[in-house]
Amino acid sequence: MASGTESWILMATGRTPTNIAVIKYWGKRDEALILPVNDSISVTLDPDHLSATTTVAVSPTFDRDRMWLNGEEIPLSGDRFQSCLREIRKLADDVVDEKKGIRIRKDDWQKLHVHISSYNNFPTAAGLASSAAGLACFVFTLAKLMNVKEDYGKLSSIARQGSGSACRSMYGGFVKWTMGRDAWGSDSIAVQLASESHWNDLVIIIAVVSSKQKETSSTTGMRDSVETSPLLQHRAQTVVPGRILQMEEAIRSRDFASFARLTCADSNQFHAVCLDTSPPIFYMNDTSHRIISLVERWNRSDGTPQVAYTFDAGPNAVLIAPNRKSAGLLLQRLLFCFPPPADDELTSYVIGDKSILHEAGLQSMKDVEALPPPPESKVKYPSQKTPGEVSYFICTRLGSGPRVLADESLALLSPTTGLPK
């Protein structure tokens, strides 16, 4: 087996962004391999605000594979973790660390155990695609540690087997997950359509919506939809292919009006399919509906879309503005309709990139209280101010793909014990 002393620990730390689909993935044609019924397109979010960080350690002293999520040990026995781990091990290559005097041969990886510690810089339970970022980071960091030479497309197909949408977190900017045709899923991979710098004016505001309901997991919901919704196959086969082409063109030409129209329509159609499922699935709640109404009324009063909205398997709204000016106007509207609770600080209610807040002239709660109703509100606005419906807002932007954190002080595992710090 490896040379050097038998107590060495080798580590790698990676950081991987979340992503939010603008053309939605909903429905698998193969449950085990996680092969989708249609292509999907996502935007990658800035990892500074929404990402997973994972440290993977290997040592001959480890007697089994172990994993910690946000500091808590979790079982690694699930099929999804196991298939990612197995696939990465197959691609592992020789690793030589001259400085530490470590030499691991390709075949050693089958016998060596790993410790994995992962951390999300945003609430896991908030329904913000934490599993996508987490699984992508799991695969990415293992691949780095094990010196996997394959390209990111190949890695995306491994991440896909952990959590479908995780494959789209392997790139920054705009990403397409092509459903592929191969029965084994070799061509069901993510490809980058454009990097984050291609359209860097976009601003993203996420409304984290309070919810009392227990939500249906997307795995269960998707399976129920495939089995029971008479509309799902029509969506997958007839509607989505056209939207994918239109969305690629909207992104290529930075055509925000088309981008917004497609994004909103596809979010609504995904939720329509959920409703057409038996039993029906409700991810959006009355607050989600109010946010949509606010955006739709604004968009229509202006004649052209000012903002796009999209909702995943939960009530949170992801709002995309074409530039900082629109984002400021959006934030004013959101804070007018959903002000922070009286005892809350504005700075803990709007997090992430706070410069948008300042540019919108919102320095304090006084400024929020002084906000006038939006001009379009003259026409029947549900302008009752309801604090408490939104937990907080995150201001962010498009972001880059996975990267290695070379600074060892950022590792989540101790270099001496291999356990969480």
Among 282, 376, 415, 419, binds its own copies (CB under 8 A): 282
**Mask: binding to its own copies, 91-130, rule CB under 8 A, as x and -?**
----------------------------------------
Examine residue 285 and tell whether it contacts its own copies (CB under 8 A).
yes
Q: Cα(26)–Cα(222) distance, rounded to whole angstroms?
A: 6
- Give yes or no for residue 279 binding its own copies (CB under 8 A): yes
Nearer to its own copies, 40 or 59 (CB): 40
Smallest distance, Å, CB 298 to its own copies? 11
Which segment (52-60, 357-365, 378-386, 395-403) binds its own copies by CB under 8 A? 378-386
Of the listed pieces 40-48, 89-97, 358-366, 377-385, which binds its own copies according to CB under 8 A?
377-385
d(CA 411, CA 172) in angstroms, rounded, equals: 22
> Is residue 341 a contact point for its own copies (CB under 8 A)?
no
Output the DSSP codes for 165-229: GGGGGGSSSEEEE---S-TT-TT--EEEEE-GGGGTT-EEEEEEE---SPPPPHHHHHHHHHHH-
Only segment of 65-73, 76-84, 158-166, 232-240 that touches its own copies (CB under 8 A): 232-240
- At 140, list the tokens: 């990415």
Applying CB under 8 A, among 286, 345, 359, 369 the residue interacting with its own copies is 286
Residue 227 makes CB contacts below 8 A (sequence gap 6+) with: none
> At CB < 8 A and 24+ separation, what contacts does 281-284 make?
281/216, 281/221, 281/224, 281/225, 282/213, 283/215, 283/216, 283/221, 283/311, 283/312, 283/313, 283/314, 283/315, 284/311, 284/315
Per CB under 8 A, the segment of 120-128, 264-272, 317-325, 327-335 that binds its own copies is 264-272
Q: Output 82 or 233, the one with its CB closest to its own copies.
A: 233
> Phi and psi of 220, rounded to 5°?
-65, -45
Nearer to its own copies, 239 or 419 (CB): 239
Minimum distance between the CB of residue 220 and its own copies, rounded to whole angstroms? 13
Residue 289 binds its own copies (CB under 8 A): yes
| Radius of gyration of the chain measured on its C-alpha atoms | 22
